[in-house]
Amino acid sequence: MVLFNILFPSPPAGQTPAPEKMQDIFAYQEKIAKEGKLIWAERLHDAAKESARIHIDGSGNSTVENGPFDGPSLGGYAVIDVADLNEAIALVKDFPSGFPSTTVEIRRVIDINDIPAPDAVKAKAKALRELMAANAKKLHA
């Protein structure tokens, strides 16, 4: 199991994919979900709607900056479970985009076993992941 996070940019302001494109997107997501590859996916509201950035300095002090924000922002994400980066790339290349031009970023999720940490820390991380999985199941129960 290798998890990757797929990061989609926000669409141009006020634009939504055409209904037929949305059907194509949902059909593709359903296909890869049934294959066990799509773990989770969400689209995010535009950065102008209920958004904030928290800036934390080296002393632990924080400053809140409320949106909207200028420039590109994250528009959505998906978590996929695939064999390797090549399979992740193939899945994303086949993804039906709702817009004529976009750039999608693929990032591998860190596995706690990849980090040199004491067994107690790894056990705590595993327990936390199990708790988060249980919380996710409650969302749509």
Domains with residue ranges and CATH for the chain: 2-109 (3.30.70.1060), 111-141 (no CATH)
The predicted-structure confidence for 18-43, as pLDDT tens digits, reads as follows: 888 889 989 999 999 999 999 999 98
Tell me if 95 sits within 8 A of 28, measured CB to CB: yes
pLDDT tens, 46-91? 777 788 889 999 999 999 998 888 777 888 999 999 999 999 999 9
Q: Give Cα separations from 105 to 9, 14, 65, 95, 138 (angstroms).
A: 9, 22, 25, 13, 29
pLDDT-derived band at 107, boundaries 50, 70, 90: very high
Q: State which amino acid sits at residue 20.
A: E
Helix, strand, coil percentages in the chain from 3-state DSSP, rounded to 5: 35, 25, 40
Cα–Cα dist 37/124, whole Å = 26
pTM of the predicted model over 0.85: no
Q: Which range, of 100-104, 117-121, 129-133, averages the lowest pLDDT?
A: 100-104
Q: Pick from 43, 51, 45, 5: which is nearest to 22 by CA?
A: 43
Q: Compute the distance between CA of residue 1 and CA of residue 109 in angstroms, rounded to an integer.
A: 11
The CA distance from 43 to 26, in Å, is: 12
